[in-house]
Structure 1
Amino acid sequence: MSRICKAAAIGGGVIGAGWVARLALNGIDVAVFDPDPEASRKVGEVMKGARRAYRKMAPGGLPGEGRVTYAKTIAEAVTGADFIQESVPERLDLKHKVLAEIDAHASRDALIGSSTSGLKPSDMQAAMERPERLVVGHPFNPVYLLPLVEVVGGDKTSRKTIEKARSVYASIGMKPVVIRKEIEAFVGDRLLEAVWREALWLIKDDITTVEELDDIMRYSFGIRWAQMGMFQVYRIAGGEAGMRHFIAQFGPCLAWPWTKLTDVPELTDELVDKIAAQSDEQAQGLSIRELERIRDDNLVAIMEALSKQNKGKGWGAGALHKDYTKQLAKAAAKDVGKGKPANVAKSKG
C-alpha cells in the first residue's frame, strides 16, 4: 500500500478542509494554499470538528497529528509533496490555471488528485505538461468521516496512476472505487442529482416540505441504503426469487409518468425563498457547527454499529471502519514507541 509522506491541499473550503483534516489526523503533514484571508480560521473550525469526531471514532488511539502549515503560493505548498489534492471552485478556467501551476512545481512522481464533483478529468488535463499523473479523487462531505472516493482517470491518465491513487486513498482509510468510464458528475453525483431534482419539484408543487421530505428519507430507505445500497435491498424485496422477480414485478412502473427527472424546476426567487425559509425552520435555531457535530456523531455511531455486524467482521462501511480504527490505533502505538507527542485521542481541545 502506498503511503503519503507529505501532502498539499490546494483550496481550503469545505471539501479542501475535510481533506486537510483526514490527512492530518492520519499523522501526515499538510501544506495548504488558499488565497482566502480567512482560510486558516475556516480550516481550523473543520479540524476542531474532525478531532472531536475522531476521538469518538477511534478510542484505541490516533497517531500524532500531522503538522498543518499555510503556504503563500501554490509552488510553496506543493514543493516536496508526494500527494496533492486540488479542491478549488468548479470552474474549468480556474482548474486549468491551478493545475498548470501545480504541474509546473510538483515533484515528477507526485500524485495529483482533483476533488471536482462533475468536471471530466480529460477536460482538466488540457492545461498540464504531465497529464498522466492526474486523477479525479471525488470525495463526499464530510471528507474526514465518509470513506468513499470516486477515482476517475482521463484520456491521458496512466494505468499506473490509477493504481497508485487507489493505494494512496486506501492508506488513509478510504474506500476507493474506480469509475470504469469517464462521464460528467461520475456516479455518486449522478444519483444525487436525480433525487435532488425530483425533491425540488416536490417542494415547488407544495406536495411536501423540506423537513417532511428529509423525514421520508431518513425514516425509510435512507436507513436501508446506509447498509446495503440499492440493488441488494431490491434483491431482498424480490423475495425468494430475488432480483429477477423484483424487476419483473416493478420494472413496468418505470414507464409510468411518476417523476419529472427529465425536467428542471426554475430556481426562482420565490422557490429559493420557500426552501430557505423551510430549512431555517427545520434547523430550530441550531447553528451550522452544531448541525455538523450532530451529523458527525450520527455517522460515527452508524459506522460503529455496522462494524459489529456480520458475526463481528463488520458489514459495508462498518467493515472498513473496523479496519481503519485498528490502523489508527496501530499507528498511535508506533508513535508512542518512538517517543513522539501524545496522540490526539488523549489530548484536550
Structure 2
Amino acid sequence: MEIKKIGVIGTGNIGACQATLIVGNGIACSVIAHSEAGAERCRETVRRNFETFIEHGLATERNRDAAMELLTISHSYDALAGADLVFEAAAEDLNVKHAIYAAIEAVVDADTPIASTTSSIPVDGLCAGMQHPERMLVAHPFQPVHIQPLVELVGGSCTAQSALERTYELLIALDRKVVRLKKSVPGFVVNRLAQAMFRESLYMIEQGVADAADIDLAVRYAVGMRYASIGLLEYFDDVGFDLEKAIAQTVYPDLCAVDSVQQIVQDGIAAGNTGRRAGLGLYDWSKKDDADYLRRKTAPFLNDIHWKLPE
C-alpha cells in the first residue's frame, strides 16, 4: 500500500522513537511538538537512534541523512493534513488527549485512523466526544519503540473495522508484528502476561524459594529462550492437555493469588529503594555494570531489523 505521511503527537521517547521507525522506513513523518525544547529533543533522539544503527552496521550515513530529510517537526496541527495515520503519544491524561484529538480531527480526513499508544486507557474512554469516534483505536508499542517489533492493536465499541484493518496494514508496512485483540481488557495481552510473572516471582522471593538473580537466570535460560522460539501455547499443545492437567493440579493451588500490590514492593517504595534509577531495588545496582545491562536490553532487537531504509 502507498503511505504518503504519518503523523505523531508527542516528542518524548515514545514519540521520537515512533518517528525514527517511520522515517527509517522511507515514509514522511510530521511530529507535533508543544515546545521548542521538545522539538529539539525529538530531533536529537531520532538522530541518535540512527547513529546507533550506524555503529551496529544497520544503516549508513546516507540512510540517516535521507531519513532526517523525511522528518518534519511543527508546532501547528496543520502539518498533519494528508496523513494516512496519526499516532498519539501524549501524557496519560484524558483531558489532554481529548484536546489533542479535537485538534487532529480539525485537519485530517474523516477516515484517517488515530492510534493512541496508551497502555492503560480503554478506547471507549479515548473516543468520548470525538466527531468521528469510529477512527479511534489503540496501537500499543513496547520500548524501545523503534526496535521492539510488537504492537498490540485494540479497538473499542466505537471503532470501525475499517480503521483497524487500515492501521494493521500500515503497521505491517512498518515491519511490526501485530497482536490483534478481540476485546479490550486491562493490560491488554503482554502486560497481563508480564504481571502474572512479576507477581509469582515476587511471591517466590517473599516465600524464600529463590532470590532475584536465580529467578532471572531461570527466565533468561529456560522460559525466555524456550518461548521466544516456539511460543507459550505452542509449547502447551506440544506437552499435551493431559500432562499439563496433571502439572496444574499440583502447582495451581500453590501459586500466588494476591490481588493487591505485594509487601516487598510497598516496603521498597517506603524506603525509597524503587529499583535501578534509585540504585537499589531487588538488586543493588551499584554492583552491576549498567552499560552491560543497557546493551543486553536492546541487543536482541537489533538483530531483527528489516527496514526499508531511504537512500
* 1:316 alignment partner in structure 2: none
- How far apart are the structure 2 equivalents of 1:210 and 1:14? 28
1:167: Cα distance to partner? 0.6
Partner of 1:335: none
- Once the two structures are superposed, residues 159-206 of structure 1 have per-residue CA deviations (whole angstroms, 9 ceiling, x without a partner) of 111111111111111122221112222111211222233344455667
8 Å CA contact 2:200–2:255 kept in 1: the answer is no
8 Å contact 1:9–1:87 — kept in the other structure?
yes
1:194 pairs with one of 179, 196, 211: 196
Q: Specify which of 151, 175, 185 is matched with residue 149 of structure 1.
A: 151
Q: CA, structure 1 residues 279+214, in 2 after alignment: closer, same or farther (shift >3 Å)?
A: farther
| TM-score under structure 2 length normalisation | 0.83
Deviations along 1:20-67, one digit per CA (max 9) or x if unpaired, are 110010111212123352453255235423553377475799694152
Identity, in percent, stands at: 25
- 1:30–1:191 CA distance, 2 compared to 1 (3 A): same
> Using the alignment, how far apart are the partners of 1:203 and 1:39 within structure 2?
44
**Alpha-carbon distance, 1:3 to partner:** 3.3
Between 1:169-178 and 1:103-112, the stretch displaced more is 103-112
When residues 10 and 205 of structure 1 are mapped into structure 2, their CA distance, relative to the original with a 3 A threshold, is farther
SS, match of residue 2 in structure 2: coil
Q: Note if contact 1:112-1:135 (Cα within 8 Å) is conserved in structure 2.
A: yes
Q: Are positions 1:250 and 2:247 aligned together?
A: yes
- State the alpha-carbon separation in 2 of the partners of residues 213 and 83 from structure 1: 41
| 1:79 matched to 2:81 | yes
Report SS of the residue matched to 1:18.
helix
The change in CA–CA distance for 1:12 and 1:253 in structure 2 (over 3 A counts) is farther
Provide the C-alpha distance between the structure 2 equivalents of 1:147 and 1:99, rounded to a whole number of angstroms. Answer: 26
Give how far 1:85 is off: 0.3
For 2:55 and 2:250, the matched residues in 1 are separated by: 47
Equivalent residues in 2 for 1:121-160 (5 A)? 121-160=123-162
Shift in alpha-carbon separation, 1:79–1:188, aligned structure 2, 3 A: same
Q: What is the number of residues matched between the two proteins?
A: 299
Q: Which residue of 1 aligns with 2:45?
A: 45
Match of 2:14 in 1: 15
- Structure 2, unaligned stretches of length 5 or more? none
Query: Which of the residues 163, 178, 186 maps onto 1:161?
Result: 163
Partner AA of 1:91 in structure 2: D
In the alignment, is the contact (CA less than 8 A) between 2:156 and 2:183 conserved in 1?
Answer: no
1:34 matched to 2:43? The reply is: no
Query: 1:60-109, CA deviations, whole angstroms, 9 ceiling, x for partnerless residues?
Result: 99694152222114x23423322210011222232222222222232323
CA RMSD between the two structures: 3.0
TM-score (norm 1): 0.75
The aligned counterpart of 1:114 is 116
Match of 2:285 among 275, 280, 284: 280
2:98 aligned residue (96, 99, 112)? 96
